[in-house]
Chains A and B, each alone.
Chain A
Amino acid sequence: MIGFLIRRILQAAIVVLLVTVIVFILLRAIPGNVAIAILGPSAYRNPATVAQFNAEYGFDKPWFDQYLLWLGHLLQGNLGFSWTLDQSVASLLGERLPKTIILVGFATILALIVAVPIGLWQAVRRNRAVDYTFTGLSFLFYAAPTFFVGTVLIYVFSVKLHWLGAEGPQGGVVNDLTDWRDLLLPVITLALVTIALFSRYMRSSVLDNITEDYVRTARAKGASGRRVLWRHVMRNSLIPIATLLGLSIPGIFAGALITESVFNYPGMGYLFYQSAQKQDYPVMLGFIVVVAIATVVGSLLADIAYAVLDPRVRYV
């Protein structure tokens, strides 16, 4: 197991490095002039400012030199400086990441709490009305764009019914945890797609397990239906969910980006959205590094969880 972990960590580092190279190249390949994107067209009043910007931020050097410079800073823990927000990228991410973690965390927990029983119930009641209904809803929410779902929820619960806030909690993390009326809609918006996905997998997994020999054996030994379902089927059925959870992290962060924009929620996703609009590359790269690390860590945790849940699985 230790050997497995070491190998996976080394692989993860290589993956993250490759991701940064690809993203760096893609950002540099974007048409347009970064200096004008940052300085604005008014810089053309005095063209010398464009040359000054390019010299100051290394845009007059080959892209590989620029990358090595950035990588060197990264390895020293320096993610760079935002050209538009005038803060270090690390401090910006430090401010915004907890808010996104709260949003993503609550959404994921909600998704698990809702999706697992729904998937179980669908499998138990397969080919009945309830199964068809939840299947239809799953397809609907899985196909519906996040911004659309969020906008509809705002319209119904905020504008029309006045039950909940139209924007996410503003201010710091403490506000997020106390201002539940403003947090609820963004969490639900982000969770709905995940619920749709997880419930389908859970249904499929329960259906696979419910017909296994061990279930018949357990019943033959006198176990009640409830005991068989919750003590035996459930645990085995959760294995793919654990794997899926780890692999869903990039998708959940992507959904958070859109959700944060719709709900005016100043998290990391919104930060990336702002930076992408203004070609603020240091922030974009910092965001990509964080998400890449989260993805590989998520994948690793998924594999470890798999081994924990299934004693037959042993890594060497």
Chain B
Amino acid sequence: MGAIPSWRRSAPRHRTATRLFAVACGTALAITLAACGSSGTSSGGTGAVSAPTGGTPVKGGTATYALPPSTTPNYIFPFESATYFSVANSEYFQYLLYRPLYWFGNGASPTLNTGLSLANAPTYSGNKVTITMKGWKWSNGETVSAQDVVFWIHMMQAVGASDWGAYVPGGFPSNVSNVTAVSPTEVTMTMNKAYNPTWFTYNELSQITPMPMAWDKTASGPSNCTTTVSDCSAVYTYLDSQSKDLSSWASSPIWSVVDGPWKLTSFNSDGNSTFVPNPSYGGSPKPSLAEFQEVPFTTEAAEYNVLQAGAAGGAGQKIDVGYLPSTDAPTKPAGATVGANPVSGYTLDPLYLWSINYFPMNFQSTTGNGPVIKQLYFREAFQYLMNQQAVIDGPLHGYGFATVGPVGTYPATNYLSAKGKQGDPFPYNPAKAKQLLSSHGWKVVPNGVTTCTDPSLCGPGVKAGQQLVFTLPYATTANWIEQEMTQLQSNMTQVGIKLNLEPKPFDQVTAIAGGNCVVAHISCAWDMADWGGGWTFVPDYYPSGETLFLSGSGANSSGYSDPMNDSLINQTLTTGSLQPLYTWQDYLSTQLPFVWQPNGVYSLTEITNSLRGVIPQSTTANLNPENWYFVK
């Protein structure tokens, strides 16, 4: 580089520039200090936060609801295939417009709510069931009739096996031999045998969403699916294509025929939806809000930024019902319902779904570990090393419940047996785990690798020298799963079980272990896998276990098979009392077809204090904005 030109050394102009630069730096520093020092939002205090009371209800207003991250509705037709079978489509969207025949969710209880149902409670007589419609109206003036129910069932009979997301081979409607609309208000069904009325109502009839006659058409014009099953395939094809044209939803003459409390006035493919009250809605209460909006978010962090900014009265959108990322939640004190709320002006209400959480061990594993996994004592030892309470207290910040068996523990229901109510049947106990292994022919090597020294005790198929080494892929979607897996791996070292953890995307884990590997014709070369989500009892609200635990079921991802279990499940399907359910769950909870793990909170919901009616939230994931209202 050569000599610096003389004009660069001249002073006056550059002193001015330097002064300007100094002023700019000082301003930036002042802004930063102001931001850090301002009291825009403050901690919400300590201890439990109760829902606000008081205030004068006002009619109208627009409530904005933040959808879960990367979750947007993409199917409006309430007959969705597996591709579209999701809470985002059903409970957060379709159900606002098109009511299912039977509504499940009484406040926080996952029970039948006849008040919000389109029909009175079904009546059973042997293998016959009668459904009596209430006579609510579609928005085009037609009555929600028995024929509308038959329309849906005919559609199911025609295309359900391939195009209904909750279809189970051998299940509804295969177990119905005849369905007839005997009058405009009455439907009778004849089942192939007498089933447990609760089971049939909660798990079979729960799937039905009546459809208006206005939808019984194809591109050519009106059709006859309601009376002729063979016509339904063409009608389905037409409605399916209309549903896939997202840009047309708000203006479509098809989708504008609604019987729910809301009508859709705008929708874009980003997921922004706007609903207004349907004046023809026959249920109660009628919406008080003038408008209800659903807004999508890319990530939890993006939503939280907007929630905080809006809470502080900042620029941009204000969210009325949003959520607090679990990583930002202060730990909940033991015994409290909710912990401190870092967002002022909002009420924090944890939402738990009616569900259980578990991860499968593969009884059909071809890695060589299958015979070990089949041994009950081994599964018991493994379960004794799953410290559910420590996971709830730590990674879940107190927001979770232990899974004790195949029936959920929250909310409290009479489906849970007395034994289940006693809590975790396998509380953390490394000594017990060690004793189980050593008494069954294993040489336990803490911090090493335990090996089988006496195959006659280890169990059939287990060879001498077999090591307890397993691969465990887990989904990286939630931080708490990652921490739980690390904790579990550490716990296992106490008895010489080596877990090789493999973090993977959610989709890869479910692809590996989401289904029965033999039934689904996928690889069985895996030992165990954890996608973190377990099973939510929607739309199978009665936790009878036939989908998850029956031998040969596609969703029975562990491949667990036990004639006693199958027999007990079948009794729950056909016997009206709860005793078979109790007997079955008490048996299965100790058989450990899966590894029971903590059931974490579904959403730490934040509700603006000026909005009421949101609490109690539904454990069946339903949204009821018709119950919401603002106060001043």
Q: Mark B1-14, 1 if CB is under 8 A from A, else 0.
A: 11001011010001
CB distance from A94 to the nearest CB of B (A): 11
Q: Are B309 and A165 in contact (CB under 8 A)?
A: yes
CB distance from B456 to the nearest CB of A (A): 37
Q: Mark B252-274, 1 if CB is under 8 A from A, else 0.
A: 00000000000000001110100
* Residue among B2, B17, B305, B521 having the largest count of chain A Cβ atoms under 10 Å: B305
Instruction: From the candidates A158, A262, A273, A274, name the one contacting B309 in the complex (CB within 8 A).
Output: A158
Q: Whole-angstrom distance between the alpha carbons of A11 and B268 in the complex?
A: 39
Besides A160-B40, A160-B312, A262-B302, 18 other A-B contacts (C-beta < 8 A): A31-B508, A37-B511, A42-B82, A43-B82, A43-B515, A44-B557, A49-B81, A158-B305, A158-B309, A165-B309, A165-B316, A166-B316, A170-B270, A170-B272, A261-B298, A264-B303, A264-B306, A270-B298
CB distance from B127 to the nearest CB of A (A): 24
Instruction: From the candidates A121, A130, A164, name the one contacting B315 in the complex (CB within 8 A).
Output: A164
CB distance from B14 to the nearest CB of A (A): 7
CB contacts (< 8 Å) of B313 on chain A: these are 162
B contact residues, total (Cβ < 8 Å):
80
Which among A1-9, A58-66, A85-93 touches the partner chain? A85-93
Q: Are B309 and A166 in contact (CB under 8 A)?
A: yes
CB contacts (< 8 Å) of B508 on chain A: these are 30-32
Q: Which residue of A lies closest to B514 (CB)?
A: A41
Q: Whole-angstrom distance between the alpha carbons of A38 and B506 in the complex?
A: 12
* Residue among A33, A83, A210 having the largest count of chain B Cβ atoms under 10 Å: A33
Interface residue B447 (Cβ < 8 Å from any Cβ of A): no
Interface residue B97 (Cβ < 8 Å from any Cβ of A): no
Q: Whole-angstrom distance between the alpha carbons of A171 and B296 in the complex?
A: 11
Q: Whole-angstrom distance between the alpha carbons of A50 and B82 in the complex?
A: 10
Q: List 5 A-B contacts (CB under 8 A).
A: A40-B82, A41-B510, A45-B168, A165-B317, A265-B298
Q: Are B297 and A264 in contact (CB under 8 A)?
A: yes
Q: Mark B79-120, 1 if CB is under 8 A from A, else 0.
A: 001110110000000000000000000000000000000000
Q: Mark A20-32, 1 if CB is under 8 A from B, else 0.
A: 0000000000111
Interface residue B522 (Cβ < 8 Å from any Cβ of A): yes
* Residue among B8, B10, B511 having the largest count of chain A Cβ atoms under 10 Å: B511
Given contacts A158-B314, A164-B315, A264-B302, contact A45 B35 (CB under 8 A): no
Interface residue B423 (Cβ < 8 Å from any Cβ of A): no
Chain A residues with CB under 8 Å of chain B are 30-33, 36-50, 52-53, 83-87, 92, 95, 121, 124-125, 129-130, 133, 151, 154-167, 170-171, 181-182, 207, 210-211, 215-216, 219, 224-225, 228, 260-266, 270, 273-274, 277-279
Given contacts A42-B85, A160-B40, A165-B315, contact A121 B17 (CB under 8 A): yes
CB contacts (< 8 Å) of A41 on chain B: these are 510, 514-515, 531, 555
Instruction: From the candidates B18, B520, B531, name the one contacting A50 in the complex (CB within 8 A).
Output: B520
Q: Are B298 and A260 in contact (CB under 8 A)?
A: yes
Q: Are B25 and A133 in contact (CB under 8 A)?
A: yes
Taking CB atoms and an 8 Å cut-off, the chain B residues in 162-188 that contact chain A are 162, 165-169
Q: Whole-angstrom distance between the alpha carbons of A164 and B308 in the complex?
A: 13
Q: Are A181 and B246 in contact (CB under 8 A)?
A: no
Q: Are A154 and B167 in contact (CB under 8 A)?
A: no
Q: Are B516 and A85 in contact (CB under 8 A)?
A: no
Given contacts A31-B508, A33-B511, A156-B31, contact A48 B306 (CB under 8 A): no
Instruction: From the candidates B1, B297, B315, B505, name the one contacting A211 in the complex (CB within 8 A).
Output: B1
Q: Are A52 and B298 in contact (CB under 8 A)?
A: no
CB distance from B547 to the nearest CB of A (A): 6
* Residue among A31, A155, A166, A219 having the largest count of chain B Cβ atoms under 10 Å: A166
CB contacts (< 8 Å) of B519 on chain A: these are 44, 47
Q: Whole-angstrom distance between the alpha carbons of A49 and B75 in the complex?
A: 18
Q: Are A160 and B36 in contact (CB under 8 A)?
A: yes
Q: Are B74 and A84 in contact (CB under 8 A)?
A: yes
CB distance from B415 to the nearest CB of A (A): 21
Instruction: From the candidates B5, B18, B315, name the one contacting A182 in the complex (CB within 8 A).
Output: B315
Q: Are B316 and A160 in contact (CB under 8 A)?
A: no
Interface residue B327 (Cβ < 8 Å from any Cβ of A): no
Q: Which residue of B lies closest to A83 (CB)?
A: B83
CB contacts (< 8 Å) of B268 on chain A: these are 171
Q: Which residue of B lies closest to A161 (CB)?
A: B35
Instruction: From the candidates B86, B243, B515, name the one contacting A47 in the complex (CB within 8 A).
Output: B515
Taking CB atoms and an 8 Å cut-off, the chain B residues in 290-321 that contact chain A are 295-299, 301-303, 305-306, 308-310, 312-317
Q: Are A44 and B515 in contact (CB under 8 A)?
A: yes
CB contacts (< 8 Å) of A181 on chain B: these are 315-316
Q: Whole-angstrom distance between the alpha carbons of A151 and B298 in the complex?
A: 14
Q: Whole-angstrom distance between the alpha carbons of A85 and B88 in the complex?
A: 13
Q: Are B316 and A182 in contact (CB under 8 A)?
A: yes
CB contacts (< 8 Å) of B85 on chain A: these are 40, 42
CB distance from B544 to the nearest CB of A (A): 15
Q: Mark B511-543, 1 if CB is under 8 A from A, else 0.
A: 110111001111000000001000000000000
Chain B residues with CB under 8 Å of chain A are 1-2, 5, 7-8, 10, 14, 17-18, 21, 25, 31-32, 34-36, 38, 40-41, 70, 74-75, 81-83, 85-86, 161-162, 165-169, 243-244, 246, 268-270, 272, 295-299, 301-303, 305-306, 308-310, 312-317, 504-505, 507-508, 510-512, 514-516, 519-522, 531, 547, 553-555, 557
CB distance from A211 to the nearest CB of B (A): 4
CB contacts (< 8 Å) of A130 on chain B: these are 17-18, 21
CB contacts (< 8 Å) of A170 on chain B: these are 270, 272, 295, 317
Q: Which residue of B lies closest to A41 (CB)?
A: B514
CB distance from A305 to the nearest CB of B (A): 27
Q: Whole-angstrom distance between the alpha carbons of A33 and B5 in the complex?
A: 67
CB contacts (< 8 Å) of B14 on chain A: these are 125
Q: Are A171 and B305 in contact (CB under 8 A)?
A: no
CB contacts (< 8 Å) of A260 on chain B: these are 298
**What 3 pairs between A and B have smallest CB-CB spacing?**
A44-B515, A225-B7, A165-B316
Q: Whole-angstrom distance between the alpha carbons of A41 and B520 in the complex?
A: 11
Q: Are A158 and B17 in contact (CB under 8 A)?
A: no
CB contacts (< 8 Å) of A49 on chain B: these are 81-82, 162
CB distance from A281 to the nearest CB of B (A): 12
Q: Are A162 and B40 in contact (CB under 8 A)?
A: yes
* Residue among A36, A156, A207 having the largest count of chain B Cβ atoms under 10 Å: A36
* Residue among A45, A92, A165, A279 having the largest count of chain B Cβ atoms under 10 Å: A45
Q: Which residue of B lies closest to A278 (CB)?
A: B507
Q: Are A46 and B75 in contact (CB under 8 A)?
A: no
Q: Whole-angstrom distance between the alpha carbons of A283 and B223 in the complex?
A: 35
Q: Whole-angstrom distance between the alpha carbons of A32 and B507 in the complex?
A: 7
Q: Are A261 and B302 in contact (CB under 8 A)?
A: yes
Given contacts A46-B554, A182-B315, contact A37 B507 (CB under 8 A): yes
CB contacts (< 8 Å) of B297 on chain A: these are 264
Q: Are A161 and B31 in contact (CB under 8 A)?
A: yes
* Residue among A30, A44, A50 having the largest count of chain B Cβ atoms under 10 Å: A44
Q: Are B298 and A273 in contact (CB under 8 A)?
A: yes
Q: Are B306 and A219 in contact (CB under 8 A)?
A: no
CB contacts (< 8 Å) of B74 on chain A: these are 84-86
Q: Are B169 and A46 in contact (CB under 8 A)?
A: yes
Q: Are B301 and A151 in contact (CB under 8 A)?
A: yes
Q: Which residue of B lies closest to A92 (CB)?
A: B269
CB contacts (< 8 Å) of A273 on chain B: these are 298
Instruction: From the candidates A159, A210, A261, A266, name the one contacting B270 in the complex (CB within 8 A).
Output: A266
CB distance from A239 to the nearest CB of B (A): 19
* Residue among B81, B165, B302 having the largest count of chain A Cβ atoms under 10 Å: B302
Q: Are B507 and A36 in contact (CB under 8 A)?
A: yes
CB contacts (< 8 Å) of B510 on chain A: these are 36-37, 40-41
Q: Are A44 and B520 in contact (CB under 8 A)?
A: yes
Q: Are B514 and A36 in contact (CB under 8 A)?
A: yes
CB distance from A202 to the nearest CB of B (A): 16
Q: Whole-angstrom distance between the alpha carbons of A256 and B161 in the complex?
A: 43
Given contacts A36-B507, A266-B270, contact A161 B165 (CB under 8 A): no
CB contacts (< 8 Å) of B511 on chain A: these are 31-33, 36-37
Q: Whole-angstrom distance between the alpha carbons of A125 and B553 in the complex?
A: 75
